[in-house]
Structure 1
């Protein structure tokens, strides 16, 4: 039995429908039927019971399915490993992310990557707020999933994977905490806690100095760690913009996340060094994009 014939049998054993099997295998239903009849002649017994309404495995078919499935998976893994080795997808790959919701996507993509490329070890890291591009430049990180914008001549901007609405994290007793939404103009009425270590254009984008109407936005303390931002907000030292989803991951009794009504979305995208556009990086990027698109398609509203 040839590999293609094994695939046809196993897909039909899963689908139990000639039409769907033909679609998956990109052949005609007649080809599926011919292949199964050939197998049944070679084995000397029926593999499927067919009626006008259903297709069911016979006991002989079940024995063949269970026996072939394990071997077929081993063949697929061996072929994938050989192909990966041929393309240089071996060794180690270091992936970093900036926020917890990015980490969830990275972990899911890592599981898929390991299944496809078992000879490549993936390590997952958290991207630092202080000098986030340093690990890309010195080779500690191969890929980072972070907030944008990042525009550096030696850093490649990969695809934008998803976008998220913004919120303002405020002290629990702040007047904004009792509101359903805030606006960018409201930033003129509170001190803005910021972070350091990012490119200046990044800071200007996320922590503006003026409102859309030109009103100045006061500056509060600055720090290099997100948990310190939350501690400062909780202590009443100011407010800070963030992604609205932070409320699900960084809940605290002393802060409240209030959605913006008019702020642009936060974009999250992939970065890697221009000197590190390897097959490993490209392969992981493709899987991350697949997982991000699947997550977007399954989210409410799609």
Structure 2
């Protein structure tokens, strides 16, 4: 039997051909996601009896999360630190993305390649690098003491919430640059030229043209950065100290040292619900912004 490659340009045949290619991977990916979420939700409503899946059904895990002020404080701290890291990341990423998209010219691909270079190294190594920079005898303290700005090394840099924010902002900067760049790249350059011809000042052109075009990319960058940072536990553990414990650290502790998988799963479900609510709010904001444009 001779296999004939279907004509991908012929209407229904093209659709079926594409579906046939992507269907197995899509089903596998969705199946793994649904299985994982179902397993975590199943565990969240189980008693902890020391076994892997627990025994009996209960809602006490969620009741503890809702009534114990400790978890409310840590959850609020996680949202605040992740929000500050996201804000710092987007503010730092926007000028870079703008320069690449508008002024990159023939060096655009090279700069984009340099932006993605951090992906070539382990996230853990990047966090350790910041720990070396911020340590008592680290690079930053050595520089400040060497220049006479400090008389002796300071303990104010490492094991602080600020260290967590800075480290997260640096680690996730490429994730913010790329969606903002993609949004700005679709902006016709003739719009800025027309604005200049009509007498618009650069700030006015930026506010009336560049920002609306980049808004979807900015929202995407916010979601891409905020979602992983709010549940991060590696960075707070290495550079944050006791005052920077986040909800991801508690989840890791429940699945690890405490051996309370049901309660760890309940914390995970609670975090997912909070993130889902924030995503829905951002989507609503994006829809309202697009309706006004």
Give the TM-score range, shorter chain: under 0.3
Structure 1 or 2: more strand by fraction = 1
TM-score normalised by L of structure 2: 0.24
- For the pair shown, the structure with the greater C-alpha radius of gyration is 1
TM-score normalised by L of structure 1: 0.24
**Higher normalized contact order (CA 8 Å, seq sep 6+, divided by chain length):** 2
